[in-house]
A and B are shown apart, each in its own frame.
Chain A
Amino acid sequence: MSTQTELNSLPAASEPRPGLVAVAMSGGVDSSTVAALLLQQGRPVVGLTMQLWNQRRLPELQGNGPAQHRCCSLDDVYDAKRVAQHLEFPHYVVNFEEQFEQRVIRPFVEQYLAGRTPIACTNCNTDVKFEPLLRMARQIGAERLATGHYARIRHDQTSGRYQLLRARDDSKDQSYFLWGLTQEQLSRSEFPLGELTKDEVRELARSVNLPVAEKPESMELCFVPNGNYVQFIHAYSREAGKPLTDQEGEIVTEDGAVLGRHAGVHNYTIGQRKGLGFAAGKPVYVLAIDPEKNRVIVGEDDALRTTSLEIEVVNWISIPEQAAPLRAQVKIRHKHELAAATVEALPDLRARVTFDVAQRAITPGQGAVVYDGDVVLAGGWIK
């Protein structure tokens, strides 16, 4: 592995780091390959698989067909165990169901009901993987936590800061989901796949005969295996004793003209065209959601484009908070092309992002991540 010496180019990277490293293992090919890579480097490894969600809790979401592939199912746990057995390192399942529900699932449901479009994966990273899991890793004697994320960590000698960088493989880059990490978390984390492509990872997995080398990737949210998040929100709310009834409201134009009815704001996201339930002459899109008036505001494509947005709970990662406005590139959703913008820090962990060119469907609840080339400068939640 010629690229290995560049990984996370920390000062002592050429020397194998001493100490136990915990690998967060989902049972998939990426995190399994991380374990294999670290072992190849001669490092002692312990695998940890998080039990995050009890699939039996909402039986109405199970469906009748053969079990769908889903994260933290028993099959995935057993896959992780098989990998650990194959590569001969200790592996444990740790229960974070309570933390996952409080910090990921509940906010996810609440955000949708408040008319926003949340990203559960970011919360899971910031508040579960790199919080209680990292803490547990350290409590059981591991120095650091390695994950299968496609991103890179670099220690900047001049500033002394740990920097977060995009993955070498642009198509797999997951830095967008990691903007919430603190310096402390970054200093204790490793992303050994950051320099690799997915094909290289599969090839590595095959070369050490990992039992999961050919396992397909999971695409959906782990706790919504069938992809129907609306159904999930209904089932979860019912189980929590707050069944969603009578969520209906008006679909209106920007001028307030009523075009139709909606079935609850959680069914909609900014830029959505399908499923509005009425026919209009020109294509219309969701422009905004007003949870207070329980309204969905629609309009034409042009009206979706805006140049400016505000972010909150801003985390400055690779550089300290900047007093002067900053030229950068900003991403407003996972599959969004980086767009040139000026970023200006505001009080109370906020910032204003002003794009050079108007961007389509800026969506409250999503993250806006500020890059300088490969380097993640900051991130925050779109207000």
Chain B
Amino acid sequence: MQRIYFDHNATTPVDPAALEAMLPFLSGDFGNASSIHTFGQRARAAVETAREQVAALINARAQEIVFTSGGTESDNHSVFGVAQALLPVRSGAHVITSSVEHEAVLNSCQALEKLGVAVTYLPVSRDGLLDPGDVRKAVRLETVLITVMHANNEQGVIQPLAEIGQIAGAHKIPFHTDAVQSVGKIPVDVRDLRLDLLSLSGHKLYAPKGIGAIYIKSGTRLRQLLFGGHHQRGFRPGTENVAGIVALGKAAEIARLTLAEDTKHISTLRDRLEQGLLSRIPDCRVNGLSAPRTPNTSNMTFAGIEGEALVIALDLKGLACSTGAACSSGAVEPSHVLTAIGLPAAEARASLRFSLGRHSTAAEIDAALELIPAAVAQLRQLSPSYKREASAHH
């Protein structure tokens, strides 16, 4: 069976060039980047090259990049690092975030609440957008951190970070963004966005799983999360994942060089998919359509279906996509993002995410435009709620 992968927001394949770049560091060049000898020096040089490559992708300086195990660690480090560094300074600390964050930020904030930190979870519009005015109103004297994601994983909606960065800068509040879903998909410039902290993840941009980075603007006060040796200036101890770092560097370089081309290619395919589905399937719509979105993501609601059943039906036909967030068992849990944009539970359950990638093709879109309408029709035929809805219109 020819399999089509439309789930690039979950993870991406490792780019062949990134894979090729990392392989020597799993074999001959296996040195520890902290070692004095030649083995170590070769590893160190490769790590520092990768740091430059990652920095270049987001317009940061190399010394502002710290490698981590991935997006979740970067988010935890940013949120806890800032809050705990400032906690003794300002009592009754306060954090501002959004209600559509990834769990890595949401659950970090909830853990902070248990430590006595006040957290404001700002709502979003029906399109999933945060209103910068709401951020301004939420700022208090005690606010120690604003953390707002750049692009949403489920809808691809891009938050107005530049405006929020202005507000944070004016109040001298550290500003963090979870940019796991935007880096490599759209231009990200930490200076333009006035960011102090940014999380990114390797496996969302064609590097392997288990590698990520934080951008930490020089001068940002941050308490370290892990304690150990002096690696990465002692700030993030642990022997560097040299091969992963090298792959991330290479993937970042590729992303920087091909971003414009990728964007054009992918958004054309995405629009073709959306237009094709809207014209072939009655009672369906695109979520977040009137907000700025990443070029690869499409979140659609098909009235009367169970998204979970549609994902399975499509996978059995060879099309991989997703719905909501998966829990550890692999079962689907109701999406907090779709609930936050005001979708009723039934509609949130009837929603699916297609996320395309650099290697997606027009032929795959055409195949999907055959598979998806057929699967939706099959589900609706057996859906008591769709029949009810349909007859209610008469």
Contacts and interface: CB of A to CB of B under 8 A. Distances in A.
A95 to B, nearest CB: 4
Contacts of B328: 74
B313 interface: yes
Interface in A72-108: 74, 77, 81, 90, 92-95, 97
A94 B313 contact: no
Interface stretch (B288-296, B330-338, B353-361): B330-338
A171 interface: no
A139 B315 contact: no
Contact of A93 (B315, B331, B378, B382): B331
Contacts of A93: 329-331
Contacts of B329: 49, 51, 74, 77, 93
Interface in A35-80: 46, 49, 51, 74, 77
A140 interface: yes
B316 A135 contact: no
A93 B330 CA distance: 6
A184 to B, nearest CB: 12
Contacts of A90: 315-316
B343 interface: no
B309 A136 contact: yes
B306 interface: yes
A141 interface: yes
Interface string B310-332: 00110110000000000111111
B316 A139 contact: no
Nearest to B330: A93
A172 interface: no
B306 A139 contact: yes
B232 to A, nearest CB: 34
Given A46-B316, A90-B315, A94-B312, A139 B379 contact: yes
A136 B331 contact: no
B308 interface: yes
Interface residues of A, number: 19
A161 interface: no
Contact of B308 (A46, A74, A77, A94): A94
B378 A141 contact: yes
Contacts of B331: 51, 93-95, 97
A334 interface: no
B269 to A, nearest CB: 26
A141 B317 CA distance: 10
A95 B331 CA distance: 5
A90 B317 CA distance: 11
B275 interface: no
A138 interface: yes
B306 A136 contact: yes
A97 B349 CA distance: 13
B107 interface: no
Contacts of B330: 77, 81, 92-93
B313 A139 contact: yes
Contacts of A136: 306, 308-309, 312
Interface string B353-394: 000000000000000000000000011001100000000000
Contacts of A139: 306, 309, 313, 378-379, 382-383
Nearest to A138: B382
B5 to A, nearest CB: 16
Contacts of B316: 20, 46, 90, 140-141
A74 B328 CA distance: 8
Contacts of B382: 135, 138-139
A54 to B, nearest CB: 9
Nearest to A90: B316
A51 B315 CA distance: 19
Interface string A131-169: 000011011110000000000000000000000000000
Contacts of B379: 139
B327 to A, nearest CB: 8
B313 to A, nearest CB: 4
Nearest to A72: B329
A115 to B, nearest CB: 34
A92 B320 CA distance: 13
Contacts of A20: 316
Interface in B271-312: 306, 308-309, 312
A135 B380 CA distance: 11
Contact of B333 (A77, A95, A140): A95
A20 B379 CA distance: 15
A138 B382 CA distance: 8
A95 B309 CA distance: 10
Contacts of B378: 139, 141
A81 B329 CA distance: 10
A56 to B, nearest CB: 10
A138 B312 CA distance: 11
A100 to B, nearest CB: 12
Nearest to A44: B316
A52 B150 CA distance: 34
Q: Which of A95, A135, A138, A140 has the most CB of B within 10 A?
A: A140
Nearest to B379: A139
Nearest to B317: A141
B347 to A, nearest CB: 15
Given A74-B328, A94-B332, 10 more contacts: A46-B312, A51-B327, A92-B315, A95-B332, A95-B333, A139-B306, A139-B309, A139-B379, A140-B312, A140-B316
Interface of B: 306, 308-309, 312-313, 315-316, 327-333, 378-379, 382-383
The 4 closest A-B pairs by CB, nearest first: A51-B331, A95-B331, A93-B330, A139-B309
14 contacts: A49-B329, A51-B327, A90-B316, A92-B312, A92-B330, A93-B330, A95-B332, A138-B382, A139-B306, A139-B309, A139-B313, A139-B383, A140-B309, A140-B312
